[in-house]
Amino acid sequence: MQFNGLLEKILNGDRRAISRALSEVENSTSTGEGILEGISNLIGHSYRIGVTGPPGSGKSTLTNQLTKLLVEKGFRVAIVAVDPTSPFTGGALLGDRVRMSEVGTNQKVFIRSMASRGSLGGLSQKASDAGDVFDAAQFDYTIFETVGVGQSELDVAKAVDTTIVVLVPESGDSIQAMKAGLMEIGDIFVVNKSDRVGADQAVTALQVILSMRDHDETTWLPPIVKTIASENKGIDLLFDQISNHKSFLNEKKLFEVRRLDRLKNKIKDLVVSNLRKEFWNAERKLILESKIQNVLEGKVSPAKVVQELIDDFKSSVIY
């Protein structure tokens, strides 16, 4: 497959080409970098939605139902399942992905799981890059579904247009969500499994917590939507709120602000990863290995070794 041919096929929505592009991007190959470079002026079509929340809140089911609704409305939908899974557990083999089979066989839907492989903060950037591929391939919506409530979730939230935080009525769930920093990133809150006891109390608790957020008439006050995703209830209301938020971003010209922020973060991340790659050549790896025992024995401090390595890096820059 020629590289230029590959780009063209991505733009035409060729599934095999998209799949290959996603692999190249995820593995940070030079082809992947070329693809991102090639599509960088072709993005802006896709609306990006983040779905996050604590484990067991039903994020996958909700994503599933929302996807079905979007497809019914004639949209093409991509799903990026951000999964901090280890190689040991065999990636996203188990669990929720199975439920996706219902929408996964639809030609208007493309599902991609991404595992973290222990990269520091790199996962959210790669998810965002995958979003660029789907964007170039003219998907109307890209949904980023994250597992867990850690730093990568907060990072993913920065890379989308609308963040949906999914909670369940169980007492303490909203407190846990607060602790995980989810209350601040949510544009829409979903109380899923809302047929359970305590749903209304959970909504009230959320309202109280959200009213603590600084807001005036120019800021978005996050709505709270009750759903029972497993019974496909409330998904239409959720879609309405997504549309409301989209209109709000449009009216307030916040789309461009968010996209500018996204681009700045992307460039900053690229700077770090490029510098890191250049920095850790064989020679400096050797310097580190030769010094580390002395650091362990307290004969030289970490900061001294860092300075020595940086000096070596600078002296190697011939300009």
Site for a copy of itself in 13-72 (CB under 8 A): 33, 36-37, 40-43, 54-56
| Angle value at C-alpha 83, between 77 and 88, nearest 5 degrees | 140
Site for a copy of itself in 265-284 (CB under 8 A): 266-268, 270-272, 274-276, 279-280
Buried b / exposed e across 13-51, counting CB within 10 Å, b at 16+? bbeebbebbbebbbebeebbebbbebbeeeeeebbbbbb
Nearer to a copy of itself, 101 or 171 (CB): 171
Site for a copy of itself in 127-156 (CB under 8 A): 147-155
> Please, are residues 46 and 140 in contact by the beta-carbon 8 Å criterion?
yes
Ramachandran quadrant class, 181 (left: phi over 0; alpha: psi -120 to 50; beta: rest): left
Nearer to a copy of itself, 1 or 306 (CB): 306
What is the smallest separation between the CB atom of 93 and a copy of itself, expressed in angstroms? 10
Which one among 208, 221, 263, 286 touches a copy of itself, defined by CB under 8 A?
Answer: 263
What is the smallest separation between the CB atom of 296 and a copy of itself, expressed in angstroms? 6
Distance CA 85, CA 91 (A): 6
Lookup: tokens for 300: 């030289």
Site for a copy of itself in 184-213 (CB under 8 A): 184, 212-213
- Piece of the chain touching a copy of itself by CB under 8 A; list 217-225, 230-238, 245-253, 259-267: 259-267
Nearer to a copy of itself, 217 or 276 (CB): 276
Ramachandran quadrant class, 138 (left: phi over 0; alpha: psi -120 to 50; beta: rest): left
Nearer to a copy of itself, 1 or 310 (CB): 310
Nearer to a copy of itself, 132 or 238 (CB): 132
Site for a copy of itself in 226-255 (CB under 8 A): none
Q: How far is CA 20 from CA 16, 17, 23, 130, 200, in A?
A: 6, 5, 5, 11, 46
Distance CA 58, CA 66 (A): 12
Which one among 23, 29, 45, 121 touches a copy of itself, defined by CB under 8 A?
Answer: 121
Q: What are phi and psi of 167, to 5 degrees?
A: -125, 170
Q: Binding to a copy of itself by residue 298, rule CB under 8 A?
A: yes
Which one among 30, 72, 251, 319 touches a copy of itself, defined by CB under 8 A?
Answer: 319
